[in-house]
Structure 1
């Protein structure tokens, strides 16, 4: 969902990242597709690629709003569910639960970005999930554990809400997100 991705991109920018949205990973080879057992794999796309200059870290960010729906499930993200729906949902989170996919995507994006001079040989690469809605408290706790174990970043709905509230305090900025934050902030009584 582009609107939520725009909010997340601004959130990341406000937290010190340079961002690119809808990043296609073009250098996937036929050999890569054979390894992944997906000969007709379309060009993979990362929702947001964020670069944190201070730590020289490139973060591949998967954004799932799932607002007004069931929310993000732990079993889907971890790929550890046994039901057919868990397995189907897990395909949406391959960056987090498919080691082979993640390795190839990371290597090819690193090659592209090194070749373009966007990163250097010392740049580390990490992963993040931004969830606009998480299914249950249990799912949230399990996701926190999973991401901590993997040393990845999990950005929770409350983090985004807090970031939007902070945007309302900014000076004038011609941004739909900032203007909306200003409009919905608490209004003082007359």
Structure 2
């Protein structure tokens, strides 16, 4: 499976090896984007990194909400980078969960838990925003909680075996996506 169809196409199913390969490709891509944006001097370079980028965006959103201003270009581009990374992870999780016989449940659970963690940490950061350096505590807590959520969900889903239904059971599986030539 080609990298573009693996990372950006939600159709199909993938095995464990392909899932871990896709996550590794995503990590390398995120690091390359981070280094490329950092060399250009762009502020939202940290948004490309998995756990750090989420905390960076939450801190930036808390600052914008506290200041009562609209998000600036740097924060908007950081939000778009994080959204693109979440889309790719959702595509990988969806394909892997289909292969493991789980359906949409792991992807939805991951998204809701991640949203709850980042939302709570963002509210905490917003509550501490006038306290100088105290706003860093929710950002580090967000990084730790986010890393824990990512590790649990991705480790659990990546270790699941292929789904083997009982004999005589009707199986509905989506076809493997073949790259166009």
The answer to whether TM tops 0.5 is no
Higher relative contact order (CA 8 A, sep 6+): 2
What's the TM-score, normalizing by structure 1? 0.29
The structure with the greater share of residues assigned to strand is 1
